[in-house]
């Protein structure tokens, strides 16, 4: 929360922004409805977005696409940045100036969580991506496989017979993996901060409740400070990252910016990917049976989850210059949103797109890569670790909990248009 913002002002602005989202949704604009989480079936809304054409201007003031090829082009466009452009950021007027009643601060101004965990622009992360690869890339993380698998085995063994799969297994393991890699001295405090930071990505699109907002911002800031301390100390993977970037002339701040992504949003995305994968597998018993009988299918199951139920379901982008997309000139300063989950269900790209099918990525045929984690360079930096954790988790769960089954429903968190993460996921494990 901005230093000059009172709780009363914060609450007023959050409520106003939420009210605007609801008002816009009354126009039956599918993206506006998806943004306000107004439907129990977001897949139907994604289909309606695709029916609007390759790229349509939503009443929520964003150009939106649910077409796979157009989404891929948008995610690859150097002129489309996941961080708001200067033309789209809040006014830098004197913070002590009294606002007029009709002046509403932007969500980014009143709750600057994005600036805390994503301080750099697209070009910066693109420059850092290959430099960090010797530390965070897929090949580099191979040496961590046994450590990660061991952590998942310990967490699953301690989960009991009726755990909450999200909190007691997926999130707990994700926290422990990152804490181990960063050599965090106080894992319990790190876990508390990660829990409090849940919803950070969603808060960039949808205003959280007032009761959650201050804690969300403070926890993200604390996780950044913790990462900075590990970088300065040269500890664990943070120290290796510092050395790799410094050898290319980068500062410690660059290492902190990359390292912070491991905790924010890395922990939440890892936990959500595991929960989404297990939910999809259990909803299609034949697929769960296939994984239990062949745990080596875990990698294909993760890939299919990234297509069918990705942990990042909407990706907002901001034009730093005029950009041509689907025959439309999107002006500088405009917002483009890729409806990733809907684009990953584009029937023109994936036959039987609505079905969760592990064999889709298990064969030798060529299948279009799903949009998502690798779509923007900041998420691409943490994608290998998120994938590694999910593959390890599925292998362990399928091997050690073959009788796993859900109990009741696994509701989604409120106000989570970007991740639609589970609120809880009760299961019977044995």
Express each pLDDT in 367-413 by its tens digit: 899 998 877 999 999 999 999 999 999 999 999 999 999 998 888 89
Confidence of residue 8 (pLDDT cuts 50, 70, 90): confident
Half-sphere exposure (Cβ direction) of 234: Cα atoms closer than 13 Å: 3
When pLDDT is averaged across residues 286-313 and rounded to a whole number, the result is 97
On the question of pLDDT at 346 being above 60, the answer is yes
Cα 138 vs. chain centroid, distance in angstroms? Answer: 19
Q: How far, in Å, CA of 344 to CA of 43, rounded?
A: 11
Phi/psi for 64 (5° steps) reads -125, 140
Q: Lowest mean pLDDT: which of 21-35, 68-82, 299-313? A: 21-35
pLDDT of residue 362: 86
| Tens-place pLDDT, residues 158-191 | 999 999 999 999 999 999 999 999 999 999 999 9
What are 107's two structure tokens? 């969500």
Q: How far, in Å, CA of 202 to CA of 206, rounded?
A: 6
Q: What angle do CA 255, 258, 260 make, to 5 degrees?
A: 105
Confidence of residue 38 (pLDDT cuts 50, 70, 90): low
On the question of pLDDT at 281 being above 80, the answer is yes
Q: How far, in Å, CA of 152 to CA of 274, rounded?
A: 11
When pLDDT is averaged across residues 229-241 and rounded to a whole number, the result is 96
Residues ≥6 apart with Cβ < 8 Å to 153 = 396, 400
Q: Which residue has the higher pLDDT, 37 or 199?
A: 199
The CATH superfamily holding the domain 7-428 is Cytochrome P450 (1.10.630.10)
């Amino acid at each position: 929360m901005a230093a000059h913002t009172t709780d009363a002002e914060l609450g007023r602005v959050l409520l106003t922004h939420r009210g605007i989202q609801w008002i816009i949704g009354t126009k039956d604009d599918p993206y506006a409805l998806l943004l306000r989480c107004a439907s129990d079936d977001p897949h139907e809304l994604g289909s309606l977005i695709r029916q609007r054409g390759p790229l349509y201007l939503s009443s929520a003031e964003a150009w939106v696409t649910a077409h796979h090829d157009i989404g891929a082009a948008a995610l690859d466009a150097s002129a489309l940045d996941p961080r708001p452009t200067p033309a789209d950021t809040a006014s830098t007027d004197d913070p002590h100036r009294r606002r007029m009643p009709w002046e509403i601060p932007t969500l980014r101004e009143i709750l600057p969580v994005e600036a805390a965990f994503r301080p750099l622009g697209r070009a910066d992360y693109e420059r850092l991506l290959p430099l960090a690869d010797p530390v965070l890339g897929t090949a580099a993380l191979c040496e961590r496989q046994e450590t990660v698998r061991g952590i998942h085995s310990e967490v699953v063994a301690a989960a009991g017979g009726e755990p909450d799969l999200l909190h007691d297994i997926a999130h707990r393991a994700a926290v422990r993996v990152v804490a181990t890699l960063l050599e965090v001295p106080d894992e319990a405090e790190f876990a508390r901060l990660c829990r409090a930071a849940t919803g950070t990505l969603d808060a960039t699109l949808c205003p959280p409740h007032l009761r959650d907002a201050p804690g969300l911002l403070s926890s993200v800031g604390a996780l950044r400070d913790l990462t900075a301390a590990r970088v300065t100390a040269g500890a664990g993977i943070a120290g290796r990252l510092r050395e790799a970037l410094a050898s290319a002339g980068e500062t410690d701040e660059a290492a902190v910016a990359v390292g912070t992504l491991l905790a924010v949003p890395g922990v939440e995305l890892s936990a959500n990917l595991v929960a989404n994968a297990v939910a999809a597998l259990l909803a299609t018993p034949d697929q769960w049976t296939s994984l239990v009988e062949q745990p080596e299918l875990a990698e294909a199951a993760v890939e299919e989850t990234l297509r069918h139920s990705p942990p990042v379901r909407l990706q907002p982008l901001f034009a730093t210059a005029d950009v041509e997309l689907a025959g439309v000139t999107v002006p500088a300063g405009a917002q483009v949103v890729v409806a990733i989950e809907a684009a990953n269900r584009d029937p023109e790209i994936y036959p039987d797109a609505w079905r969760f099918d592990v064999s889709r990525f298990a064969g030798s045929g060529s299948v279009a890569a799903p949009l998502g984690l690798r779509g923007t360079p900041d998420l691409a930096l943490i994608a290998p670790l998120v994938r590694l954790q999910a593959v390890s988790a599925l292998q362990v769960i399928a091997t050690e909990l073959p009788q796993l089954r859900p109990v009741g429903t696994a509701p989604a968190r409120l106000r989570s248009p970007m991740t639609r993460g589970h609120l809880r996921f009760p299961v019977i494990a044995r």
